[in-house]
Amino acid sequence: MPESNAQTRSRVAALSGGSSGIGRAIVEAFRAEGWKVAFGARREERVAETVDALGGSSAELFGGKLDVTDAASIDAFYDAAAHAVGHIDLVVNCAAHARPGAFYELSPDEIRSEIDSGLTGALLFSRRAVIDMLARKSRGDVIFISSTTAGVPWPFHSPYAASKAGLEQAARSISLELEGTGIRSTVVRVGNTVGTGWAGDWDADSMAVGAKWQQLGLIRHHGFMQPENVAHAVVAAASTPPGFQLDHVSVHPEAPKLR
């Protein structure tokens, strides 16, 4: 296969947080491209539901339990994924969670959990894949799903915003570390998106923060993206052929058309 086509065909992807929301939409988009996919999440029942919805486990699709804050869980996931679908050459970091609120009202465990899942977990999940790619001298991509909160002050989301800002800086540094290896590091920064189920466990006070974000202009209009819109952008970034690199892709909702 010519190198110009090597990045766009027969890819084998691994995703964290792939059982719901944006992660699941990316799994579905990759499968539509004919790529093999291994994905994981902490809730095994959601993983099983997603696998069943996409046709069941096979040599093309694997779903497993994954806690990105636990290095042993990551190792077990990658070992099982390699056995099921082959060596990974594309990593997408989707796992993250947050609960809105003033940082001083969040418990220490909540603050630590948001940083661990959104930042530390992404580094650990990517680390294992990169080690394997380097050992095989394989081309590959590592994609970090970020958020608008990384680029502008976003009150009542401080730990989450900090994790995403740190993630973007890490991705830029990783890109330089991997120069000359054929492994690329890309950020996909995501704007306001609905239909993810991400806020499914927020209480009434957490949901009320949305009105404050709108008052501050952080939610500028009533146009929102769906997870599938983000998935299209991730596929585009992952399909970039060798020879150049997308360091950063921002995906934002289009404003509703005025009549």
Strand 140-147's sheet: what is its strand order? 61-65, 36-41, 12-16, 90-93, 140-147, 183-190, 248-251
In one-letter notation, the amino acid at residue 227 is P
CA gap 29, 23 in Å, rounded:
10
Contact 66, 40 (CB under 8 A): yes
Give the chain's domains with CATH numbers: 3-251 (3.40.50.720)
pLDDT tens for each residue of 147-199: 999 998 889 999 999 999 999 999 999 999 999 999 999 999 998 877 565 55
Would you place residue 200 in the very low, low, confident or very high pLDDT band (cuts 50, 70, 90)? low
**Pair of tokens at residue 249:** 């892709």
Count of CB atoms situated within 10 Å of the CB of 44: 14
Whether pLDDT at 7 is above 70: no
Long-range contacts of 199-203 (CB under 8 A, 24+ apart): 201/99, 202/99, 202/100
pLDDT tens for each residue of 13-49: 999 999 989 999 999 999 999 999 999 999 999 999 9
Instruction: Quote the mean pLDDT of the chain.
Output: 89
* Least confident among 14-23, 106-115, 134-143, 218-227: 218-227
Strands 183-190 and 140-147 turn out to be parallel
Contact 187, 217 (CB under 8 A): no
Would you place residue 252 in the very low, low, confident or very high pLDDT band (cuts 50, 70, 90)? confident
Q: How does DSSP assign 83-105, residue by residue?
A: HHH----EEEE-------S-GGG
